[in-house]
Each structure stands twice: as C-alpha cells, then as structure tokens.
Amino acid sequence: MATSADDAGIVPHLSDTMAAGSGAAASTSASVKDLRGAAVVPGIALPDLPGTPVLPVTAPETTHDGAARLARTFDAVVANVRSAYVGRDATVRLALCCLMAEGHLLVEDHPGVGKTTLAKALARSLGLTFGRVQFTADLLPADVTGAMVFDRDSGQISFRPGPVFTNILLADELNRASPKAQSALLESMEEHQVSADGISHPLPKPFMVIATQNPYDAAGTFPLPHSQRDRFLLRLSLGYPDRAAEDELLAGTLTRPLPDSLSGVGGAEFLHSFAGAVLRSHVAPEVRGYVLDLVGETRSHPDLTVGASPRAALAVLRAAGAVAVSTGRDYVTPDDVKLVAEPALGHRVVVHPAAELAGVTASSTIEEIMSRIVVPVGGAR
C-alpha cells in the first residue's frame, strides 16, 4: 500500500504543494498561529509586559500528530480484539474500520467460525454501551424496538425502550427472524430513531448495528431483502481459519480471555474524532473517477441484474477513508478503494439467476470488474 501521496499518484492537498523555496519559514508558519487569535513570530521573544503574566507557549497538535495518534489507538483496539478472537488480521481491521466510520456491519458465514465472538469483542473493545438480541422465528418487532405499555403506578401509557437503545447492538443470526421482525431495524439503522404511537424516540449517539447471519441456503432462515442489506456499510465473511490459526485457537482455549471480559480501549471521544477524520479525508478527482468507473461497471455488467446505487458509491469512499485514517493518512488512495470494494459492494449487487446457476457470485464479479478497470497512477500537480 502506498505510504505517501507521491507514491499513490494522486493530487495532494494544496498545503502540500506550496512552494518549497520558502525554507524553514514555510515549515513553521503553519504552526505559529492558532494561539487563541494571537499571532506569534518564530524567533522573536515576547516582551515581559508589566502586570501581565508570561504563559508558556505550547505548539498545537498538528494534523500529522492527530492522524498518528488515531492510528496508534486504532492498532491498540485491533490488538485488544485479537486477544479474544483468533482470525485474519485484515478481517478485524476492516470490521473496525466499518464501525469507526459509524457504519453498520454484516458478518456472514457458516456457524462456528467466530462471528459472534468477533462482534462482541469489537463492541467491548470500543468501551461503549452494548446490547444483544438473539433473533429467532418468534421474535416480534416490539421485542427489539420497545413498545407502549400501561404503567399501573401512574395510570398512564408510556414508551418502554427496547434493547435497540444502546450504542452498539449485536443482532445475532439476523436472518433467522421473520421479515416483520427484521424490519424493526430499518428505521433505527437509517434514521437513528424509533417511532412508536406517532412519537419519534432518538437513539443514543453513536448507534451501530453488528449483525451476524448464516448463509441464505441454511434451513430455517429468511434472506434479508435488498433494501435492508443496503443499510450495512460493509459485509464480511470470516471463512475457515488456516491450520496455524486453528492450532493457536486449540492451544489457548483455557488462557484466551472471553469477549465479555475485554476492557474498553477506545471510546466515544476516539470514535467521534476518527469519524471526523474520515469525513475530512482528501479524495483526489482521479480516485473519485476510479470509484465512479467501478460503480458504473456494476450497472452495465451482463451477470448483474441490480448494480451499485449512489449510496453504494458513497459507502466505498467512506470505508476507504476509514482505511486511510487507520494507517495514519489523511488522503485516500486507489489501494484503499480496492481493499473495500468487495466488502462494500458485494451485498448490494444482485447476480442474474442464469449466471448464478453457472457459479458466478457477486464477489467474483466485482473482482473481475476491478481487474479490468484502469487504476489511476498520476494526475496534474
């Protein structure tokens, strides 16, 4: 992965392209202001005015320092999750990037590969309030969102909040519930509120859903409708571990901490700062064009009946920005886009039935599209 804007071949920030001939003055001029409105000239001592205490002058945190601090905390959260979950590091980092961008995460795979363990470890490591709902066939929407109940003490009907009123909600085996119960999360995931008896009740901030589900062909499951799959920023499949990872899992059965026992490494302030850095990430026109080419190909591909929506394009950039911030950068590269393309688009496109019978999948189609699209390697300076 590229480590600088020059290596990535993208248009850098305007501040990065200022004339270098100004020497040391140019390198210090950006950090001598921002002292609550007072301008300080480097190399000139401030006079001691009578009756005015002289306060020590400390340099404000630069953008580079802030990005490095976020990256270090991100790595600490990943390490905390990995202490309870044995799996691929790339999977953990992508899952955390999804939550750091304040998006919803869908973890899909066969039973017993660690979906719930990963979800609970992520939630606990962020140090936020956590709730869990085990989705079953007899679950009702009110069991998730809450309901209007009669209070015998006051003699009034009031709203009793459900488990959805938390920072991170683990929707375990989401596709085992009926479509009616699944729809209880639609308003919560999109608008961060719950409506009951004509009154909207806002959810805590931040609010994120980590949902797990078994494959669609499993008995006793209800496939998620396309509109609900589109609510998830990323979809990840864990897969079976390799021999070394599974041996580590067997060897540490008695010593590995449980996800519920993990302490919070991040927190609401860290998540808020990280999400703000994602929104401020610089995206060059060439990178935007690369995303548009990718999304456009999904809409005209003969093996796909439903292509990626504009919301899907925004999801790709949002997830790519989270990957950039997690590595200490404030700009997005084509490598970031390639890393999140399948997790962000695979659950949003629909494969044609004839192509599906031939063994074509959404993931293989997106990989094939990315192999054909020209990756931007340079631009105007």
The predicted structure's pLDDT at residue 206: 86
pTM: 0.77
The predicted structure's pLDDT at residue 64: 67
The predicted structure's pLDDT at residue 54: 44
* 238 is a domain residue: yes
Give Cβ neighbours of residue 122 (< 8 Å, ≥ 6 apart).
81, 95, 96, 99, 105, 168, 210
Tokens at 105, concatenated: 């995460």
* 4 is a domain residue: no
Tokens at 151, concatenated: 């209070």
* 23 is a domain residue: no
The predicted structure's pLDDT at residue 158: 85
User: How far apart (Å, rounded) are the C-alpha atoms in residues 133 and 172?
Assistant: 6
* 14 is a domain residue: no
Residue 119 structural domain:
64-372
Q: What is the pLDDT along the chain (381 residues), one digit of tens a residue?
A: 444 444 444 444 434 443 344 443 333 333 333 333 333 334 434 444 444 444 444 334 446 677 888 999 999 999 999 999 988 889 999 999 999 898 999 998 888 888 888 888 988 898 888 889 999 889 999 999 998 888 788 888 888 899 999 988 999 989 899 888 898 898 999 899 998 888 899 999 889 999 988 876 677 788 888 888 889 999 998 888 889 888 888 888 888 888 888 888 878 888 889 999 999 999 999 999 999 999 999 999 999 999 999 999 999 999 999 999 999 999 999 999 999 999 999 999 999 999 989 989 999 999 999 999 999 876 443
Structural domain count, the chain: 1
The predicted structure's pLDDT at residue 3: 46
User: How far apart (Å, rounded) are the C-alpha atoms in residues 325 and 235?
Assistant: 20
The predicted structure's pLDDT at residue 119: 86
* 137 is a domain residue: yes
* 295 is a domain residue: yes
Q: What is the CATH number of the domain that holds 96?
A: 3.40.50.300
- What are the tens digits of pLDDT across the range 39-78? 333 443 444 444 444 444 433 444 667 788 899 999 999 9
* 10 is a domain residue: no
The predicted structure's pLDDT at residue 215: 76
Angle between the N-to-C axes of helices 310-326 and 334-345, in degrees from 0 to 180, rounded to the nearest 10: 130
* 81 is a domain residue: yes
